[in-house]
Structure 1
């Protein structure tokens, strides 16, 4: 059976991304391996430390940067993260200064909000209703 072990989000600065994804969003650093001028840098959920890793991938490929910029300009999130209590996360993150392009709202069977990760992406938070 196939399973997801790694996914990625492109970031314009790996150190800034690591700070945001760990100190603001609450992920835990899993791997940091120097590779030339960049790193293999992954984070995981503290609730699933052996689960799917999120690679904070350095934005070094020109066409990918065009795609990332186009998504953000269109207001489309790069990816989505699940939360148990969206209102609670929204309040906590807002108090930490996180900017939301979409505040919590129902969207069919889920509640969503979209935040700016400060590294070039919108990220959707989603709670199943």
Structure 2
């Protein structure tokens, strides 16, 4: 068994696909119209057949209070692995990305948390010796 698909709830799919591709660097894999919404997934450019991230509309009534509570408490909706948190932080900040947590080293783990502009906090993480 392996993870095939995970999702993050977004308030605007078009804005989300631009952020997740143009800023974070993912590539669009699926874009299937489903009425007013789309089955819209992105993948890592390094693993185009790997786990897909569904940019899922947040229209269900339970989603917005859930997202609001997570953001209020500073809890990321998901986490993405990077080779160097400090370098990725610098790159993304240079593109205007707002971080709610700058890089923090906790033993073998380094994390930072960013705002995805679509109602979520996203953690970037490196486990293992720091690349910087």
In structure 1, the residue matched to 2:123 is 124
1:18-55 CA deviation, whole Å, 9 max, x = no partner? 00000000000000000010000000000110000000
How far did 1:64 drift? 1.5
**Poorly superposed stretches of 4+, deviation over 6 Å:** none
> What does residue 8 of structure 2 align with?
9
Hey, what's the Cα distance between the residues in 2 that align with 1:25 and 1:103?
A: 16
TM-score normalised according to structure 2 size: 0.95
Count of aligned pairs: 128
Is 1:56 aligned with 2:55? yes
Number of the residue aligned with 2:89: 90
Secondary structure of the structure 2 residue equivalent to 1:124: strand
Structure-1 residue corresponding to 2:98: 99
The gaps in structure 2 that reach 5 residues or longer are none
CA distance in 1, matches of 2:43, 2:30: 9
2:17 counterpart residue number: 18
**TM-score, normalization by structure 1:** 0.97
The Cα shift of 1:95 comes to 0.3
How far did 1:109 drift? 2.2
Deviations 1:41-76 (A, max 9, x none): 000000110000000000110112111110001110
Q: Hey, what does 2:69 align to over in structure 1?
A: 70
Task: Indicate the SS of the match to 1:106.
Answer: strand
Give CA-to-partner distance per residue, 1:74-99, whole Å, 9 cap, x none: 11000000000111100100000000
Distance in structure 2 (CA, Å) of the matches to 1:107 and 1:116? 21
